């Protein structure tokens, strides 16, 4: 699905030299390189504050902790996403409310949002799934009307750009009260281990978030609030600081690969290729197709048998997961998530894909479809 080795080969000397510096100064935690990376990422995203942390799941949890929510408060998010988004809501004693996604973009169905808001709603978490932004202008409009803070789960769309109807452009993760991301190795900006970050333009909130990542400490050994221990370490920051200047190149390579796939599939009635909404670009964390009139699981197995990696993101919508059965979700309202979980398939997508590889993969997909439709 990803070719981290191919990508790594090209930047190995720079990373090794940064590692050498860290071996010499032994600032493994809280090194200057972490601060520098936060600054560089803030400049790239054009956001005032970047606060790094241990992983993308922590980032979501810390974001919720920074908003003073009370047990029983409701947090609206989507049914069709990675578990972390819902898990942290439950861990904090809050109540997740799941709404459906749009069948074309796979992102929050904004027509469902306002209906789900109650007096207990205290946060909304849109997820920029697979690499394109959710419809933030509409989401922010509804949130503002009801004075509810928005946390963008931007683990999959770092570097994507949203265009507002007045032409103003903003990077994914910088439009809501808080944005979160993950530097898990296979994410679009990936480290050599776990890592994450939060973004905000609010000075006071930034200070609070930084304190929460460090046990809720204000002045050394004085604690103002409950916090956690969640840090990006120096070695990860070194990797990320080498990759950040290449992020736009990486995105362009993914977009090129997506165009090759689109071209190969353009005449196939059984495949819905990724739809990119007009208000966003797509950084293709995943290249995900929807199969129509074709047994998705059979295709999945067939490709695996041919040693072609492919994956199902996500095979079971969150509302029907055993872990969350106490939350009493209403499946009747989540029909698109259910349909997508049975029909989506993600094909290999990374920065090192060649045209030949994409043509080889798509030919196998099309062959299967021809003989099964
Ligand atoms: C990867 C991911 C996360 C969690 O990130 P980790 O660094 O693995 O904790 C959260 N939300 C989404 C949508 C993700 O894809």
- Show the ligand 1 pocket: residues with CB < 6 angstroms: 55-57, 81-82, 84-85, 127, 153, 155-156, 182, 184, 194, 196
Phi, psi of 41 (to 5 degrees): -70, -40
What is the β-pairing status of strands 344-347 and 95-99?
Answer: unpaired
Q: What is the pLDDT of residue 237?
A: 98
Q: Convert the pLDDT of each residue in 142-190 to its tens digit.
A: 999 999 999 999 999 999 999 999 999 999 999 999 999 999 999 999 9
What pTM did the predictor assign? 0.97
Atom 14 (ligand 1): residue with closest C-alpha?
155
Per-residue pLDDT of the chain (373 residues; tens, 9 = 90+): 888 999 999 999 999 999 999 999 999 999 999 999 999 999 999 999 999 999 999 999 999 999 999 999 999 999 999 999 999 999 999 999 999 999 999 999 999 999 999 999 999 999 999 999 999 999 999 999 999 999 999 999 999 999 999 999 999 999 999 999 999 999 999 999 999 999 999 999 999 999 999 999 989 999 999 999 999 999 999 999 999 999 999 999 999 999 999 999 999 999 999 999 999 999 999 999 999 999 999 999 999 999 999 999 999 999 999 999 999 899 999 999 999 999 999 999 999 999 999 999 999 999 999 999 8
Q: What is the dihedral of CA 152, 154, 158, 160, to 10 degrees?
A: -60
What CA–CA distance (Å, rounded) separates 69 from 66? Answer: 8
Q: Going by C-beta distance under 8 Å and a sequence separation of 6 or more, which residues neighbour residue 205?
A: 66, 177, 178
Q: How far is the CA of 59 from the centre of ligand 1 (A)?
A: 9
The ranges assigned to domains in the chain are 4-99+107-245, 247-372
The token pair at 170 is 């903003």
User: CB of 198 within 8 A of CB of 154?
Assistant: no
Q: How far is the CA of 191 from the centre of ligand 1 (A)?
A: 13
User: CB of 56 within 8 A of CB of 155?
Assistant: yes
Do the domains at 4-99+107-245 and 247-372 have one common CATH topology? Answer: no
Residue found by looking up tokens 């530097």 in the block: 183
The listed CATH number (3.10.20.90, 3.90.1150.10, 3.40.50.2300, 3.40.50.1950) that belongs to domain 247-372: 3.90.1150.10
The token pair at 280 is 């966003």
Atom 3 (ligand 1): residue with closest C-alpha?
56
- Local structure of 224: helix, strand or coil: coil
| H-helix or E-strand spanning residue 38 | helix 32-45
CATH 3.40.640.10 is the classification of domain 4-99+107-245: yes
Q: Which atom of ligand 1 has the smallest separation from the CA of 183? A: 7
Rg over alpha carbons for the chain, rounded to the nearest Å, is 21
Atom 5 (ligand 1): residue with closest C-alpha?
56
Q: Which residues in 115-267 belong to E strands, given as ranges?
A: 121-125, 151-153, 161-163, 169-171, 178-182, 196-200
What CA–CA distance (Å, rounded) separates 338 from 257? Answer: 28
Atom 2 (ligand 1): residue with closest C-alpha?
155
Q: How far is the CA of 270 from the centre of ligand 1 (A)?
A: 30
């Amino acid at each position: 699905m990803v070719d981290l080795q191919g990508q790594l080969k090209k930047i190995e000397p720079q990373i090794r030299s940064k590692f050498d510096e860290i071996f010499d100064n032994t600032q493994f935690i809280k090194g200057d390189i972490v601060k520098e990376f936060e600054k560089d990422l803030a400049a790239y995203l054009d956001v005032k504050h970047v606060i790094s942390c241990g992983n993308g799941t922590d980032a979501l949890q810390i974001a919720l902790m920074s908003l003073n929510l009370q047990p029983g408060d409701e947090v609206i998010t989507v049914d069709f996403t990675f578990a972390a988004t819902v898990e942290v809501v439950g861990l904090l004693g809050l109540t997740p409310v799941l709404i459906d996604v749009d069948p074309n973009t796979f992102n929050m169905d904004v027509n469902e949002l306002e209906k789900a808001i109650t007096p207990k709603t205290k946060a909304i978490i849109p997820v920029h799934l697979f690499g394109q932004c959710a419809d933030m202008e509409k989401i922010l409009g509804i949130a503002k009307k009801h004075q509810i803070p928005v946390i963008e789960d931007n683990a999959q769309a770092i570097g994507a750009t949203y265009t507002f109807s007045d032409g103003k452009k903003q990077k994914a993760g910088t439009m809501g009260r808080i944005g979160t991301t993950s530097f898990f190795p296979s994410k679009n900006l990936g480290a050599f281990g776990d890592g994450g970050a939060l973004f905000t333009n609010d000075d006071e909130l930034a200070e609070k978030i930084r304190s929460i990542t460090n046990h809720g400490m204000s002045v050394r050994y004085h604690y103002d609030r409950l916090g956690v221990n969640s840090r990006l370490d120096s070695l990860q920051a070194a990797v990320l600081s080498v990759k950040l200047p290449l992020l736009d190149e990486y995105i362009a390579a993914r977009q090129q690969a997506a165009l090759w796939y689109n071209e190969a599939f353009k005449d196939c009635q059984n495949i819905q290729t990724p739809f990119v909404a007009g208000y966003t670009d797509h950084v293709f964390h995943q290249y995900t197709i929807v199969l129509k009139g074709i047994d998705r699981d059979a295709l999945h197995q067939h490709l695996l048998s041919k040693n072609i990696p492919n994956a199902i993101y996500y095979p079971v919508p969150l509302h029907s997961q055993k872990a969350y059965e106490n939350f009493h979700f209403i499946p009747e309202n989540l029909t698109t998530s259910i349909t997508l979980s049975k029909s989506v398939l993600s094909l290999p997508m990374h920065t090192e894909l060649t045209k030949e590889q994409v043509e080889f993969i798509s030919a196998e997909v099309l062959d299967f479809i021809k003989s099964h439709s």
